[in-house]
Amino acid sequence: MVDQGVPAGSNLDIMLTLPSEMTNGDDVLVKASGKIVRVEPRLEDGNERQGVAAVIERYDIMRGTATA
């Protein structure tokens, strides 16, 4: 869900950390890029927002570089 308007076809960059509970070791930083493929208007808690669906086209796993 996002608060601002983004059109389908927009590029998307995501960074997230997989915690050690998921990796059986250290936290792992994942950098991903892709495109938004669908946008749906939503009303959540009285606020207009947008639900988005995206496809990940590329990702890089950066072991040992995540910080808490």
Looking at the structure of the chain, the number of domains it has is: 1
pLDDT band of residue 66 (cuts 50, 70, 90) is low
Q: Is residue 43 part of a domain?
A: yes
Q: Is residue 48 part of a domain?
A: yes
Q: Is residue 5 part of a domain?
A: no
Q: What share of the chain is helix, strand, coil (3-state, %, to 5)?
A: 5, 65, 30
Q: Is residue 56 part of a domain?
A: yes
Q: Is residue 44 part of a domain?
A: yes
Domain ranges, residue 46 = 11-63
Q: How far apart are CA 3 and CA 49, in angstroms?
A: 5
The model's pTM is: 0.67
| pLDDT, tens digit (0-9, with 9 covering 90-100), for 11-61 | 999 999 989 898 888 889 999 999 999 999 888 888 888 889 999 999 999
Q: Is residue 1 part of a domain?
A: no
pLDDT band of residue 1 (cuts 50, 70, 90) is low
Q: Is residue 3 part of a domain?
A: no
Q: Is residue 27 part of a domain?
A: yes
